[in-house]
């Protein structure tokens, strides 16, 4: 795929995830979905990095990474199934919504305590190095997650052991209602130096900038096997979750369709390159809307997991304890 096709495909994934995001939020307001963590505003950050990944790479993502997952080939149906916790859900309805995984695309499962994915990513990178395997490990997290012991432990170990980890901080300026200015006195990318690691800051609202930086940085990690911290500055355009009301604590909203919207920035730049025009944009948006509406309606009809599934995946073979419990419940 040449660069032009790659960028158009990335733009298509941005539109798809924006469309899916809005559909899920709207459905939650209609009582059709329990809970969800919206991704609007972080599409360019995630897809720009995804464009620089290879199939063999391992990803320890966090709850806001739907655009990254969609761009890497996870189907919208799988995201909807997880949110609904239906019988097709990869987590069998046992996880909170927005706690995805996708084994076939090397996405590990999302954990609720923030930044706990970081030490796991470092462990996986150690394993890659020990077994002399190709590939790198990408781990993603928010600005607020840098205030955890896990961030420190993971950064230090990855640098000290020279491990191929890409730490992608998706700085969306907020940790629920807590602004990044109050979260830390230092710029996040600069913290890398304290661990003896390379750190870079990039405009996470700009797909082309994000891709350029990710390409350079990931190539470097593949070559020298050393970690990097990328701080991608974007903006959480929606609420923290569907249970949050940001009007209670902030007024500096970036409106959808405004100059700061990553989708608008991508459209402007891709038009300047003559890669897309208004007709193509309209077609991509129409296709996304039709597809997501159709898929959502289909997935909504899937029944919840049956009670039997509760007893699966506990032991390889059933035993008397499981059998006894089954007898009480089923």
**CB of 185 vs ligand TPP, minimal distance in Å:** 16
Active site residue 315: no
In the list Mg ion, ligand TPP, none, the entry touching 31 (Cβ below 5 to 8 angstroms by class) is none
Pick out residues in 139-158 that bind ligand TPP (CB under 6 A): 141-145, 148
Q: Per rule CB under 6 A, is residue 262 in the interface with ligand TPP? A: no
Asked whether position 143 contacts Mg ion by CB under 5 A, the answer is yes
By the rule CB under 6 A, 85 interacts with ligand TPP: no
Beta bridge partners of 166: 138, 228
Task: Render the burial of 272-306: b for 16+ CB within 10 Å, e for the rest.
Answer: eeeebeeebbeebbeebeeebeebbeebeeeeebe
Q: Is 249 a residue of the active site?
A: yes
In the complex, least distance from residue 171 CB atom to ligand TPP, rounded to whole angstroms: 7
Give the residue with the Cβ less far from Mg ion, 97 or 142.
Answer: 142
Active site residue 240: yes
Residue 174's DSSP bridge partners are 179
Does residue 241 contact residue 38 with C-beta atoms inside 8 Å? yes
**Pick from 116, 138, 110, 124: nearest CA to 48:** 138
Report 209-248 residues binding ligand TPP (CB under 6 A).
Answer: 236, 240
d(CA 301, CA 231) in angstroms, rounded, equals 40
Are residues 84 and 247 in contact, defined by beta-carbon separation less than 8 angstroms?
no
Stretch that binds Mg ion, among 137-145, 189-197, 210-218, 221-229 (CB under 5 A): 137-145
Exposed (0-12), middle (13-18) or buried (19+): which is 101, by Cβ within 10 Å? middle
Closest-approach residue to ligand TPP (CB): 142
Q: How far apart are CA 288 and CA 271, in angstroms?
A: 19
List 64, 71, 240, 299, catalytic entry: 240
Distance CA(289)–CA(256), nearest Å, equals 16
64 binds ligand TPP (CB under 6 A): yes
Q: Per CB under 5 A, does 261 bind Mg ion? A: no
Stretch that binds Mg ion, among 20-28, 95-103, 141-149, 256-264 (CB under 5 A): 141-149
Q: Which of the residues are catalytic? A: 236, 240, 249
Residues of this chain that bind Mg ion (CB under 5 A)? 142-143, 172, 175
């Amino acid at each position: 795929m040449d660069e032009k096709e790659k960028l158009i495909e990335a733009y298509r994934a941005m539109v798809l995830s924006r469309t899916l995001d809005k559909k899920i939020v709207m459905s939650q307001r209609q009582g059709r979905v329990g809970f969800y963590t919206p991704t609007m505003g972080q599409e360019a950050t995630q897809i720009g990095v995804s464009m620089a990944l290879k199939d063999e790479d391992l990803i320890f993502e966090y709850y806001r990474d739907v655009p990254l997952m969609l761009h890497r080939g996870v189907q919208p149906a799988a995201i909807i199934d997880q949110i609904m916790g239906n019988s097709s859900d990869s987590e069998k309805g046992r996880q909170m919504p927005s706690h995805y995984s996708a084994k076939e695309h090397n996405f590990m499962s999302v954990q609720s305590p923030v930044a706990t994915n970081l030490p796991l990513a470092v462990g996986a990178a150690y394993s890659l190095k020990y077994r002399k395997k190709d590939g790198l490990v990408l781990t993603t997290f928010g600005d607020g997650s840098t205030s955890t012991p896990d961030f420190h432990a993971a950064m230090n170990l990855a640098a000290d052991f020279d491990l191929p980890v890409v730490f992608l901080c998706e700085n969306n300026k907020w940790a629920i209602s807590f602004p990044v200015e109050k979260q830390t006195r230092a710029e996040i990318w600069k913290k890398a130096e304290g661990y003896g690691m390379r750190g870079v800051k990039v405009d996470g609202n700009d797909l082309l900038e994000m891709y350029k930086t990710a390409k350079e940085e990931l190539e470097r990690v593949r070559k020298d096997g050393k970690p990097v911290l990328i701080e991608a500055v974007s903006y959480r355009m929606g609420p923290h979750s569907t249970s949050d009301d940001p009007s209670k604590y902030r007024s500096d909203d970036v409106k959808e369709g405004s100059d700061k919207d990553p989708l608008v920035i991508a459209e402007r730049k891709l038009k300047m390159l003559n890669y897309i025009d208004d007709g193509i944009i309209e077609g991509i948006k129409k296709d996304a809307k039709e597809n997501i509406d159709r898929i959502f309606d289909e997935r909504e009809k899937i029944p919840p997991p049956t009670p039997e599934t509760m007893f699966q995946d506990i032991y390889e073979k059933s035993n008397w304890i499981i059998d006894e419990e089954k007898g009480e419940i089923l």
